[in-house]
Structure 1
Amino acid sequence: MPHSSSELAASPVAIAGATFADLTLGDVDQPYRIFLYRPARPAPPEGWPVLYLTDGNACFATAVDAQKVQMSYPSGTNICDGVIVAIGYPSDEAYDPVRRSWDLSPPPGRTYPPFFPDTPDVRTGGGADFLSAIEDELKSWVEKQVPIDRSRQSLFGHSFGGLFVLHALFTRPRAFRRWIAASPAIFWEDAAILVTERAFLERADVPPGLELHLSAGQYESERCIAPFHKGRPDEGQRLARALETRTVEYARAMAERWEALPALAGVGRFEEYAGENHMSVLPVAVNRAVQIAFRQEM
C-alpha cells in the first residue's frame, strides 16, 4: 500500500554525474563553489568539449538537464556529450549579489551603496582578476578531474555574466573558442565595454574558429516591456530603465558591427527570444549555450 507523503523521510536530490568542490582561487579569501558534470562513459581520445558557466548556482542544473536530454537523441538534436563547469559561491541561494558584482564586472570599476542595510558597499571592477583565476588556476584543476579538448571550450554568462564574457573575449580572445553572452549589461558604467571592444577590433586579433553569440529577451528592448508590467504604478520607471539599459539594442548593434567587417562576417550573431524578460530568459539562454558548446562537429 502506498505511503502518504507525511510518512516518507525527505532526502536531498542528487544530479547523476555531478559533483562540487569549494576552491580558493586567485587572491580571494572566500572560496568559489565549482560545480562539475562529467559524462559517465570514457572520454574520446581528444578529450571532452567543455562549457564554463558563470552564476553557477543559478545555471548548473538547467545546463546539465538540457545537455542530458538532448544528448540522449544526438541524431535529432545534433548535441554530443561533454563536460559542464559552473562557477558559483558556497550558498544555497541562486546568486551572491555582492561577490558577483565584483567578479563579473570589468575594471576599473566603481563603489556603490550597499544592496541592503548594514551590509558592505558594492564594488565593481574585479573581472580581470576573475578571468585570470579561471585561466591560470581553474582550468588546470578541471583538467586534473577529467580529460578536456582545449580546442572546444565555451564560456557562457547572463547579465553581468554576459558583460564578463565580452570583457574576457576582448582581452583574452584565445581563452575560449565559443563565447555566449546572454542579456549582456553593455550599458554598465557608461558602456565602457564598447571602448574595450573597439580596441579589440582595431587589433584584429581574432583566432580562427571563434564564435560570438549574443542574445536578449524580447522584453529587454527599449521599445517593449512585458505585458504584465503595463498599467502598473511602476510602468514609467520600467520604461525609463529600458531606455537606459537598451539590452536588445546594444547586443544587436554589436553583432551588426561584427558582421559589417569582412574579417568577422559570420563570426558574431544576435538572437532575440520572444516573450522573455531579463530573468525569464535565463533557462532559454542556458539551453542555447548547451547547443552551441556541444554542437557535433563533422
Structure 2
Amino acid sequence: MRQNLVAEGVANCGGTRWFDLKDTQTGDIRRVYLWVPPGDAPAAGWPALWLLDGNAVIGTAVDTMRAQAFWPTGTNIGWGVLIAVGYPTDDAYDSLRRSWDLGPPPGRNYPPFTPDGPEVRTGGGAEMARFLLEDVCDFISGLAPLDPARQSLFGHSFGGLFALWLMFTRPDAFANWIAASPAITWEDSFVLDHLARFDAGAHRLRVHLSAGEWEGDALAPFQAHGPEAEARLAEKARTRTVAAAHQMADALSGRGIVTEIEIYPDETHMSVLPVAVNRAIRWAFAIENMHSATTTTQINERT
C-alpha cells in the first residue's frame, strides 16, 4: 500500500527507515519509523513494539534493542520489529498535532500554546487509531511480516492515556499494553468511564503501568525551591499521576488482567522516558515470560 507514501528516508539510528504516510481518510501526513532486526523473520512473523511519539523515542528504542537482543541469555530479550509513529519534523514532539491525535474523543478546545498560534484541540484519537490499525498495518505488511499474536503498544503521558483508551475500546488490537506516566485524570478522568465498561473478553492481555518517583506528591529536589514550586505542587494535586496509575493497576488486576506497575526512583515526568522505553522493550520481547499469572507489583520504588 505505497500509494499513500509521500516521502521516505533513513534515520540516523541503527539503520532505521522512515516513511511519511498520508492518512487515507483525512490526508494528514505522519512519519512512521521502522526498524527490522537482522536475519529472517520467525515462521509466525516478527513480534513488534509500536511506539507513540515516535520522534522522541525511536533512537532510544533502537539502541536498547541493538544493545540487548544480541545477547538473549544475558538479557532475556529477543529480536523484534520497532514501529514508531510521529510527525515529519526534526523536533522531538509536534505538541499541537499530538494533542489532537493522542487525545481520545470527545475532546475539548484549549487556548493556543503560543501567542497568535492555533487553538489546541483534543479528541482525534479515533482518527489516530484507525491510521495505526489500518493504514500503518497495511503499509508495514509489505515490508516486514508481523506475528499478530505478539504486538505491543507503548505510550507516554498523552500516549499512555491513548494506549489505555484504545485497550478499553479495542482490546483485540494489541496483546501487550505499556502506559508510562499515563494522563489518567485528563479531562475529568473520562477514561475511567471506559474502564467501568471494559471487558477484555477472550483476549489475554498484559499491561505495564509506570511513572517516575517525582510524579507523586513531592517535587524533585532540584524543583523544590524553584520559582514554580507552588504551581507544580498544585498541578500534582490535579494530575495525581502515581496514585491514578496505582488505582488503574488495581482495577485491571481485579479484572484478571496480568498487570505490573513500576515507580522509577529519582525520575520526573520527562526524565522517565528512556527508562520506560527500556522496560517496554522487555515487556514486548521477553523470551521467558515472567508474568504468566495476574499480578500487581511495585518495583524500584523508594520507601
Fold-level similarity (TM above 0.5): yes
Residue in structure 2 matched with residue 105 of structure 1 by the alignment: 103
For the pair 1:239 / 2:233, whether they are aligned, the reply is: yes
SS of aligned partner of 1:145: coil
| Within-5 A mapping of 1:201-220 | 204-220=199-215
* Greater helix share, structure number: 1
Distance 2:253 2:17 in 1: 40
Which of 242, 264, 282 is matched with 1:248 structurally? 242
Deviations 1:47-96 (A, max 9, x none): 11000000000000100100111102100110000100000100000000
Asked if structure 2 preserves the Cα contact closer than 8 Å seen for 1:26 and 1:129, the reply is no
Q: What RMSD, in angstroms, separates the aligned Cα atoms of the two structures?
A: 1.4
Residue in structure 2 matched with residue 272 of structure 1 by the alignment: 263
Residue in structure 1 matched with residue 167 of structure 2 by the alignment: 169
Give the Å deviation of 1:26: 4.0
Distance 2:213 2:70 in 1: 30
Q: Percent sequence identity over matched residues?
A: 49
| Within-5 A mapping of 1:58-97 | 58-97=56-95
| Within-5 A mapping of 1:1-298 | 14-200=12-198, 204-221=199-216, 223-261=217-255, 263-264=256-257, 267-297=258-288
Asked if structure 2 preserves the Cα contact closer than 8 Å seen for 1:173 and 1:207, the reply is no
Any runs of at least 4 consecutive aligned residues in structure 1 with deviations exceeding 3 A, and if so which? none
Distance 2:202 2:187 in 1: 28
Distance 1:207 1:122 in 2: 38
Distance 2:265 2:243 in 1: 15
Give the Å deviation of 1:132: 1.3
Distance 1:259 1:34 in 2: 33
Give the Å deviation of 1:271: 0.8
Alignment gaps of 5+ in structure 1 = 1-11
Which AA in structure 1 matches 2:249?
A
Asked if structure 1 preserves the Cα contact closer than 8 Å seen for 2:11 and 2:18, the reply is no
Distance 1:100 1:19 in 2: 21
Asked if structure 2 preserves the Cα contact closer than 8 Å seen for 1:19 and 1:37, the reply is yes
Distance 2:200 2:46 in 1: 26
Asked if structure 2 preserves the Cα contact closer than 8 Å seen for 1:21 and 1:35, the reply is yes
Asked if structure 2 preserves the Cα contact closer than 8 Å seen for 1:60 and 1:86, the reply is yes
Distance 2:169 2:203 in 1: 16
Please, what TM-score do these two structures have when normalized by structure 1? 0.91
Distance 1:13 1:148 in 2: 22
Give the Å deviation of 1:117: 1.2
Name the CA shift for 1:98/1:41 in 2 (closer, same or farther; >3 Å): same
Which AA in structure 1 matches 2:50?
Y
Asked if structure 1 preserves the Cα contact closer than 8 Å seen for 2:100 and 2:124, the reply is yes
Distance 1:253 1:179 in 2: 16
Name the CA shift for 1:17/1:206 in 2 (closer, same or farther; >3 Å): farther
Distance 2:228 2:203 in 1: 47
SS of aligned partner of 2:142: helix
Please, what TM-score do these two structures have when normalized by structure 2? 0.89
Larger Rg: 1
